[in-house]
Amino acid sequence: MMNRRSLMTATTLLVSLIVAPGLVRAAEEPAKKEAVKTEEAAKKADFLFVQSAQSIHYADGKLTLKGVSPTTIMFSDRPVRIADHMATARFVPFWSKGKDSFLSDPPNASLSILEGDKVKDVVVVLRDPELKGDELSYNIRVLEGEMPATGGAASLFIDVIGMPLTPMSYAGAARRAYRY
């Protein structure tokens, strides 16, 4: 025969088995909604890209990043801060695919080159990327600064897709100043 305490324990266990899954589902709903919200925001996010290389070479309007990293860093700002990386080989098709492709609106970029213990910055427009092994070449137009023929370690900060005139972008600001 069950005593009162055992009956209460059994009842509590039975109720938890019936109600708990509903509570778990209810608790999961806000998390799912937040994940969908984040995913939707990511689809609308404007990304900046960074490519790093061991050195650069420039001649006849062509910039070559030598020893380029196999990954391109990408990140966004508010409302959803996202940071990730992608294979550099997957980045190159941005010039030919999609309505906001770089083919129709080539991005600006700020190239920071390490020369000894100093950093030199050059603002450029990027076109026609070509990746061969660990060398990535772009046809460029210099907007600001003077491009050296060679340079040491470098990082290329590429403006956002779809919003090349973003106020948070150094290269976007340079493009605005250049246009006016």
What is the rounded distance in angstroms from the CA atom of residue 8 to the CA atom of residue 151?
Answer: 78
| CA 118/CA 132 separation, integer angstroms | 29
For residue 7, what pLDDT is reported? Answer: 42
Whether the pLDDT of residue 43 is over 80: the answer is: no
Range of 11-20, 33-42, 71-80 with top mean pLDDT = 71-80
Ramachandran quadrant class, 96 (left: phi over 0; alpha: psi -120 to 50; beta: rest): alpha
Q: φ, ψ for residue 90 (rounded to 5)? A: -80, -20
Q: How many angstroms separate the CA atoms of 108 and 164, rounded? A: 7
- pTM score over 0.75: no
Smallest CA-to-CA distance from 139 within 147, 130, 131, 148 is with 130
Task: Identify the DSSP state of 94.
Answer: G
Report the distance separating Cα 140 and Cα 43, nearest Å: 29
d(CA 167, CA 172): 7
- Residue predicted with more confidence, 102 or 22: 102
